Amino acid sequence: MITSANASKTVSSLHDNQVSLLNANNVLNSGVYADIGRAQYYNDLNRYLIRFDLQGISVKENITKVILRIQRVSNTWDNNEPYVLNAVAQDWSTDSVTWNNQPLYDPVSIVGASKAYGFYEFDVTDMVLPRLNGNVADYGFLIKKQNEGSEGSGLFATADYPIAGVQKRPELIIEYVADSIPSTPVSPTPTPVPPPANAAPPPESSGGIVLVSSGGWSKEVVKDLKVKMYRAMDGQLLKSLYVDENGFASFKQEDIPVQEPVYFLLLV
């Protein structure tokens, strides 16, 4: 019997950068906030590049969903207009990327969904799986306003957000089916082994049951019976006792030869 369970793990961002039209040649990779959209009053357009380390994900075959989540810490000026995510199509470096040299990106966009507590989520399952399988190169993602012509921008926490607010940092949430776990196997019922032909015959009785064990037998529940244990190899009587008032007859582990099969005779 095989059992499985749903599980999830979180991957932290590897690199993230803001690129700014107003600061087109500046590298912006150390701020605790990223502005995304067209800023009011000074006509600056900003985008956000982010990359995760997908190589460390070891549950590739069992993944059911991948969510990229960022937290909006201020939406005062974004007019609640949607944000979109695109797969980046060229390599880029966190130490040198700017507005003027920003990488190309796939034109197909994923529209994000606004969640509670300011979180913004993008379902990137169809983008991430081909990257995990090695079919598509992984250059990360670009997040921008859906309508970059309209005024308004949102402020989001970056990978450099203070440790006290680490839960606000960007993350990739991997949902998957945990590895199959075999259930505890059921031990087969041992096949009784009759005593050898040269074994001494057990005492006569009006009836009985022969049980066999090669060690580990600790208790046999019987009632109104006498119990005797014989060594199978020569029929030697090893132990004899009566049941107690509760109908139990107990053999201790040390009473049974570990390497030698024995049989029990229950006498009526």
Looking at the structure of the chain, the number of domains it has is 2
H or E segment to which residue 156 belongs = strand 152-157
Question: Containing domain of residue 99, as a range?
Answer: 2-181
CATH number of the domain encompassing residue 61: 2.60.120
Judgement on whether residues 71 and 145 belong to the same structural domain of the protein? yes
Judgement on whether residues 173 and 243 belong to the same structural domain of the protein? no
Rounded to 5 degrees, what angle do the CA atoms 142, 146, 135 make? 35
Distance CA 44, CA 36 (A): 10
Between 189 and 107, whose confidence is greater? 107
**Can you give the length of the chain in residues?**
268
- pLDDT confidence of residue 121: 97
Judgement on whether residues 43 and 167 belong to the same structural domain of the protein? yes
Is residue 165 in a domain?
A: yes
Judgement on whether residues 221 and 163 belong to the same structural domain of the protein? no
What percentage of the chain exceeds 90 in pLDDT?
A: 40
Indicate whether 265 pLDDT > 70: no
Distance CA 83, CA 37 (A): 9
Judgement on whether residues 45 and 173 belong to the same structural domain of the protein? yes
Judgement on whether residues 157 and 221 belong to the same structural domain of the protein? no
Pairing of strands 2-3, 119-123: unpaired
Is residue 48 in a domain?
A: yes
Distance CA 50, CA 176 (A): 23
Do the Cβ atoms of 28 and 49 come closer than 8 Å? no
Pairing of strands 210-213, 44-52: unpaired
Token digits of residue 131: 């990257």
Judgement on whether residues 28 and 102 belong to the same structural domain of the protein? yes
Judgement on whether residues 148 and 245 belong to the same structural domain of the protein? no
- pLDDT confidence of residue 226: 63
- What confidence tier does 245 reach under pLDDT thresholds 50, 70, 90? low
Q: Which residues contact 23 (CB under 8 A, 6 or more apart)?
A: 44, 98, 99
Distance CA 92, CA 106 (A): 15
Instruction: Pick the last residue of a domain from 161, 181, 201.
Output: 181
Judgement on whether residues 218 and 176 belong to the same structural domain of the protein? no
Token digits of residue 92: 């880029």
Report the chain's mean pLDDT, rounded to a whole number. 76
Judgement on whether residues 176 and 85 belong to the same structural domain of the protein? yes
Token digits of residue 202: 């057990």
What percentage of the chain exceeds 70 in pLDDT?
A: 63
Is residue 162 in a domain?
A: yes
Indicate whether 164 pLDDT > 50: yes
Is residue 217 in a domain?
A: yes
Is residue 25 in a domain?
A: yes
Which of 19-28, 181-190, 218-227 ranks highest by mean pLDDT? 19-28
Instruction: Pick the last residue of a domain from 181, 202, 224.
Output: 181
Distance CA 268, CA 249 (A): 14
Over residues 172-186, the mean pLDDT reads 67
Is residue 132 in a domain?
A: yes
Is residue 205 in a domain?
A: no
- pLDDT confidence of residue 219: 39
Please write the tens of the pLDDT for every residue from 58-114: 766 789 999 999 999 876 677 778 999 999 999 999 999 999 999 999 999 999 999
Token digits of residue 183: 């259930």
Instruction: Pick the last residue of a domain from 181, 200, 223.
Output: 181
Judgement on whether residues 169 and 244 belong to the same structural domain of the protein? no
Judgement on whether residues 177 and 216 belong to the same structural domain of the protein? no
Is residue 202 in a domain?
A: no
3-state DSSP call for residue 38?
strand
User: Quick one: DSSP state of residue 187?
Assistant: P
- Count CA atoms closer than 13 A to 236's CA, side-chain side: 8
User: Quick one: DSSP state of residue 56?
Assistant: G
Q: Name the residue among 156, 127, 179 with its Cα closest to residue 47.
A: 156
3-state DSSP call for residue 74?
strand
pTM given for the model = 0.64
Which of 94-108, 109-123, 202-216 ranks highest by mean pLDDT? 94-108
Indicate whether 17 pLDDT > 90: yes
